[in-house]
Amino acid sequence: MSFVDTVIEVKKASILQGRNLILSEVSFDVERGEFIYLVGKVGSGKSSLIKTLNAELHLRRGEAWIAGYKLHSIKEAHIPYLRRKIGVVFQDFQLLTDRNVHDNLNFVLRATGWTDKAEIKKRIQSVLEKVDLVHKSLKMPHQLSGGEQQRVVIARALLNDPEVILADEPTGNLDPETSEDIMGVLHEISRNGRSVMMATHNYGLLKRFPKRTLKCEHGRLIEIANPSNEIDLSMLE
């Protein structure tokens, strides 16, 4: 990577699903603590790009670095270590429905190598404080609202103190007021020094919370707005 403050750097990358080319000549970078939107129509490549950054899809053409790892040459054995530096927030929550909030988070910590019970308890308390859900730690997922479930997902993404948060349509299943609450949480995470890349089709949020914006369109990734420019909504059509 070129600069110590560049957390993601992608150079002339091709994003593929199997043998299908989804995006070509993808080049961009993300600085530490930067919040960036990823927009585009359904099927335009947003999720495929996020899956590539998370090493779920292999990068076979071009170069990319994220959180100090080279995606174009990463070994399978190193992918779990990369993913500890990346927090992923999904639209559909993917919480374990048979255990409470605390035990959902405990499961992830133990799966990623945590063994000290006191440290686990301390870490769970810390991330729940960040999303204002300490009082809900013993609730089952079905006892929570959609917004509360998404806050749990964000807490889960923060467990291993990642450098990057990749959020794939995190407000897609939420009402407008709850969506704004979740945006507030994600922006606070960014202000605290973590980079956040958020795929969304909710263009109202871009007007309400303007940030640098990249668009997947016609097999390419283009920049359509930066924080100093008001986004032209016609470019989102």
Average pLDDT of span 197-224: 92
Residue 215 and residue 221 in contact, taking contact as beta carbons nearer than 8 Å: yes
Residue 202: per-residue pLDDT:
86
Residue 155 and residue 127 in contact, taking contact as beta carbons nearer than 8 Å: yes
Residue 11 and residue 64 in contact, taking contact as beta carbons nearer than 8 Å: yes
Q: What is the pTM of this model?
A: 0.89
Give the phi and the psi of residue 27 in degrees, each rounded to 5: -140, 125
Residue 225: per-residue pLDDT:
73
Residue 51: per-residue pLDDT:
94
Give the chain's count of helices (H) and strands (E).
7, 10
pLDDT digits (tens, 9 = 90+) for 1-52: 444 589 999 999 999 998 899 999 999 999 999 999 999 988 899 999 999 9
Residue 112: per-residue pLDDT:
87
Where are the domains positioned within the chain? 1-85+163-230, 94-161
Name the band, by pLDDT with cuts 50, 70 and 90, for residue 227: low
Largest pairwise CA distance in the chain: 53
pLDDT digits (tens, 9 = 90+) for 121-147: 999 999 999 999 999 999 999 999 999
Residue 1: per-residue pLDDT:
44
Q: Identify which of 163, 148, 149, 236 has the alpha carbon closest to the alpha carbon of residue 193.
A: 163
Residue 29 and residue 8 in contact, taking contact as beta carbons nearer than 8 Å: yes
Percent of the chain with pLDDT strictly greater than 90: 77
CATH 3.40.50.2300 is the classification of domain 1-85+163-230: no
Q: Identify which of 166, 172, 140, 142 has the alpha carbon closest to the alpha carbon of residue 154.
A: 166
β-pair type (195-199, 20-31): unpaired
